[in-house]
Amino acid sequence: MMKKRYFTYLLALCSSILLHSCFVDDDKDITNDAVGNFDALWSIVDEHYCFFDYKDIDWDSVRTVYRPKVRNNMGNYAFFDLCSDMLDELQDGHVNLSSSFATSYYWAWFQDYPVNYDERVVHQYYLDFDFYQTNGIIYKKLRENIGYIYYGSFSNSISDNSLDHILVRLASCDGLIIDVRGNGGGSLAYVETLASRFITERTLAGYVCHKTGAGHDDFSEPYAYYYTPPAGHFIYTKPVAVLTNRYTFSAANNFVQVMKSLPQVTVIGDRTGGGSGLPFTYNLPNGWNIRLSSSPILDAEGNDTEFGIDPTPGFKIDMDTIAALQGHDTILDRAIEWLVTGK
């Protein structure tokens, strides 16, 4: 029997719509010089970026600031830096300008926040440098009879077979910790694969929209997407703590969004880094690429999570850096306490 996950199909549909709806005016004369490439970049963002209204960004005003600084005789690095500065106005970690010599990044979504994760502390004092590892997932039974899973990137493939082994191994534990601190995202298909192991029935996971025109508010009606527990595979129904920090971004943000809506899940740590827009890539005349958020994903209540997801009320906590020197991860300690005591 052929099995197709609904959300994967929905993403493919949105991708197809976006790729065939470029809103490019073929009658425009775009020159392959600094001025022409700047105008092309500004126009692509203007027509395709999906968070102008949500972030209250006046893109026309941004153009009036940066356009007069463009000169056709400026060097590639100077032009690249100017364009990167303009793109930073979008405040979006999914926006990248890529050339043959550099890729731009917007760092402010996490750089002014505590790291709230120390791999050495976890590995030495909680895992005793003795754990199982497969496909980028680390897992072990902790001394308190709590299961621990660390998943550092949703770019690492994860299969139903691997999850069966992991969850069955931890099934006798009183509860489970899923640590996605430092997880910068990856594949939404793996988000569905993992999150579906914690539901017992078809569950609304959220909504996704796509652009329908060049206007800043030209969007489709939200499409609902659902997760379904995989038939014939192990489903974990005991309490789950999900650990987060500001480096929890993109697909990992989406995972937290879905998990937080489940009744047996508590999110502990810091606000996630956000990044709820599906990114797509467009080409400039000079061969550079611009990647940007083109399609917003909303949570099950229809809310945008582009700026991140807060922990469960009462469970916002930072790592105590002094305690860390003594081998204590206060975020992990709080999760263990909740799973052991229920409070």
pLDDT in tens, 53-96: 999 999 999 999 999 999 999 999 999 999 999 999 999 999 99
- Res 17: pLDDT: 43
Q: What does each C-alpha distance from 223 to 93, 219, 256 come to in angstroms?
A: 24, 11, 20
CA distance 28 to 67: 18
Q: What is the pLDDT of residue 331?
A: 98
Confidence class of residue 23 from pLDDT cuts 50, 70 and 90? Answer: very low
* pLDDT tens column, 122-140: 999 999 999 999 989 999 9
3-state secondary structure of 246: coil
pLDDT on residue 3: 42
Which pLDDT score is estimated for 233?
A: 97
Q: What is the pLDDT of residue 5?
A: 52
Adjacent-strand bridge partners of 295: 278
- In sequence order, the β-bridge partners of residue 239 are none
> Confidence band (pLDDT; 50, 70, 90) for 30?
confident
pTM for the structure as a whole:
0.91
With a cut of 80, say whether residue 10 has pLDDT above it.
Answer: no
Q: Tell me what the pLDDT averaged over the chain comes to.
A: 92
Residue 4 has pLDDT above 70, yes or no: no
**Residue 27 pLDDT greater than 50, yes or no:** no
User: What pLDDT was estimated at residue 258?
Assistant: 98
Choose the weakest-confidence range: 3-17, 98-112, 185-199, 298-312.
3-17
The arithmetic mean of pLDDT across residues 277-296, rounded, is 96
Length of the chain: 343
For residue range 216-225, list pLDDT tens digits in order: 999 999 999 9
Tell me how crowded residue 161 is: count the other CB atoms within 10 A of its CB. Answer: 9
Q: b or e along 238-262 (b: 16 or more beta carbons within 10 Å of the residue's beta carbon)?
A: bbbbbbbbbbbbbbbbbbbbbbbbe
Instruction: Provide the b/e sequence for 20-59 (b: ≥16 CB within 10 Å).
Output: ebeeeeeeeeeeebbebbbbbbbbbbbbbbbbbeeeebee
Q: What pLDDT, on the 0 to 100 scale, is given for residue 28?
A: 59
Which parts of the chain are beta strand (E)?
96-98, 132-134, 137-141, 146-151, 175-179, 203-208, 223-227, 240-244, 265-269, 277-283, 289-298
* DSSP 8-state assignment for residue 306: T
Q: Look up the CATH number of domain 112-202+231-276+303-341.
A: 3.90.226.10
CA gap 256, 337 in Å, rounded: 20
Q: Which of 4-18, 80-94, 285-299 is least confident?
A: 4-18
Per-residue pLDDT, averaged over 206-212, amounts to: 95
* Bridge partner residues of 141 (DSSP): 147
Query: Which residue has 């994860």 as its token pair?
Result: 158
Assign residue 232 a region (left: φ > 0; alpha: ψ between -120 and 50; beta: otherwise).
left
The domain segmentation of the chain, as residue ranges, is 112-202+231-276+303-341
More confident residue, 4 or 235: 235
Angle at which helix 188-195 crosses helix 160-169, to 10 degrees, equals 40
Q: How far apart are CA 48 and CA 28, in angstroms?
A: 17
β-bridge pairing 146-151 and 240-244: unpaired
* Average pLDDT for 151-169: 96
